[in-house]
Structure 1
Amino acid sequence: MATIYYTGCSLDGFIATPDHSLDWLMSRDIDGGADMGFDTFAPRVGACAMGASTWQWLLDHDPEGWTPKPTWVFTHRDFAESDQVRFTSADVAQVHAELVREAGDKDVWLVGGGDLVGQFHDAGLLDEVWVQYAPVTLGAGAPVLPRHVELSLDEVTRNRDFMCGRYTVVR
């Protein structure tokens, strides 16, 4: 079991535009069954965590497409309740224990955003970072990980239009 930040990123280091859009990411040719593609990653996941902006984007664009895994959304906003989604403003360490318990022998997926993932890192709870680098630049937006994190490169591959890197967090 590992806690993994799996994300798409522009070449200039952003996971979303300044208005929190992921449309640029969805327009790319992705997931040809590559080793680090989503189709091979998703079955490993037992529970997810994300921030409110990521959840709002999912609600606005594809609420039916969200994989029904137990999910914790870190937020101070009010959202409609769901069987598989829990809303919290608790400390990441407390919620991580719940995520791990729910995931069982599977991984915990930190969906985003970068600041939330940074909080998991700061608490010593982030194990790996998998980045799918898209062939696009955004110029501004939400950084992939807005703090200093030491990583060790473990694997590099290609997923159609994307260059993929898998890193282990150096402790």
Structure 2
Amino acid sequence: MTSVVYSTATTLTGQLADEHHSLSWLFAVESEGPDHEAFLAGIGVLVSGSSTYEWVLREEDLLAHPEKWPSYYGARPMVVFTSRELPVPEGADVRFVRGPVADALPSIRALAGERDIWLIGGGDLVGQFDDAGALDRLELTYAPATLPAGMPLLPRRIGPDRLVLRDVQRFGQFAHLSYDVTR
């Protein structure tokens, strides 16, 4: 059965990025991290909001260097929720959708096939998946950093009655927590 998984890094204070949309806090500490290749092997489709997608394009200069795309995401399709026209790196399978998550879910699930759906960000989009009853798991890697402001990890209330801790791992200075999200 296909699961919808939100896998991301966050600060101890629950931000994905600082107030300038920077992730410099994340790259300031060397990390072994969870096995990204093993995680990707179970992913059929990636889903992103437009801000996260634009950050990835900028940070890795993927429009000028589209050959880098496969090293990050492989040949998997990426679905980007946006209301704007955005560029696509040459050779990348990027599909743009507008409207409610619930309306797009059947086609996203079809793209994933038997594999999982990776929500790569942002937090509000992940909240919309939860609102639609489609968020199954949180994979959160906590970095040794705090920020006074920034983009929140998940700007929704999901109480302890809905989160079941699956696993805790240590990767150097980082802590990785896995939760099942129940309905």
TM, length-normalised to structure 2: 0.85
What does residue 73 of structure 2 align with? 67
Any idea what SS the aligned residue of 1:79 has? coil
C-alpha displacement of 1:151: 1.1
What does residue 171 of structure 2 align with? 159
- Unaligned 5+ runs, structure 1: none
Report Cα offsets for 1:12-55 as digits up to 9, x if no partner.
Answer: 100111121122223332235xxx44232111111011111101
More off after superposition, 7-16 vs 141-150: 141-150
- Aligned runs of 1:1-171 on 2, under 5 Å? 1-32=2-33, 36-62=34-60, 63=62, 64-65=68-69, 66-68=72-74, 69-81=76-88, 83-149=92-158, 150-171=162-183
Cα 1:19–1:142 change in 2 (3 A) is: same
Please report the RMSD computed on the Cα atoms of aligned residues, expressed in angstroms: 1.5
Moved over 3 A (4+): none
Report Cα offsets for 1:115-167 as digits up to 9, x if no partner.
Answer: 10000000000000010000011111111111111311111001222100000
What does residue 65 of structure 2 align with? none
**d(CA) in 1 for partners of 2:173, 2:52:** 23
More off after superposition, 120-129 vs 156-165: 156-165
**d(CA) in 2 for partners of 1:158, 1:96:** 33
- Unaligned 5+ runs, structure 2: 63-67
Any idea what SS the aligned residue of 2:58 has? helix
Report Cα offsets for 1:59-92 as digits up to 9, x if no partner.
Answer: 1011224413201111122212454101121221
Amino acid at match of 1:67: Y
TM, length-normalised to structure 1: 0.91
Q: Bigger radius of gyration, 1 or 2?
A: 2
**d(CA) in 2 for partners of 1:37, 1:31:** 8
Any idea what SS the aligned residue of 1:96 has? helix
Q: Is the 8 A contact 1:3 1:128 kept in 2?
A: yes
Amino acid at match of 2:73: T
More off after superposition, 128-137 vs 155-164: 155-164
**d(CA) in 1 for partners of 2:86, 2:18:** 22
Any idea what SS the aligned residue of 2:107 has? helix
